[in-house]
Amino acid sequence: MDEDRLPRFRALLIVRRDELQALSETSAESRGAVELDQQSVGRLSRMDAMQHQAMAAANERQRAAELSRIAAALDRLGRGDYGYCLSCGEDIAERRLEIDPSATLCVDCARARDR
C-alpha cells in the first residue's frame, strides 16, 4: 500500500469510531430497562417499548463489533500491517478500504469465506 494513503485511512477510521461512540452514548437510554408500571404504560405500549429496547441492544452489539474491528485496524496501522489481507497476505484494494477501512480480507478471500 502507498504509505501516503495511510493518514487518509487513519482519519476515516477515527471519524467512524467517533461517530459510533457518539451514537452509543445517545442511544444508552433506549437500551435501559422498560418500565413495567401497567398504570402508566398499557400492555401494547410496553410490548412496543420492549421491542424497541431489543432493537437498540442489537444495534449496540453491532456498534461494539464495528468498534472492535476499527480498533484492530488502527492497531494494524500502528504496526505497519494495515492494508494486507489476513488470509493470503496480499494487498487489500484501496477502493475496498475506502468503503470499509476496517476490512481484513481482500475481495477474493472474502468471497471464498462466504461460500
Contacts of 104 (CB under 8 A, 6+ apart): 69, 72, 73, 85, 86, 92
The domain segmentation of the chain, as residue ranges, is 3-81
For the segment 87-111, what is each residue's pLDDT rounded down to a tens digit?
A: 999 999 999 999 999 999 999 999 9
Q: What is the pTM of this model?
A: 0.80
Percent of the chain at pLDDT exceeding 70 = 86
Question: Does 30 score more than 70 pLDDT?
Answer: no
Give the residue-averaged pLDDT of 66-88: 96
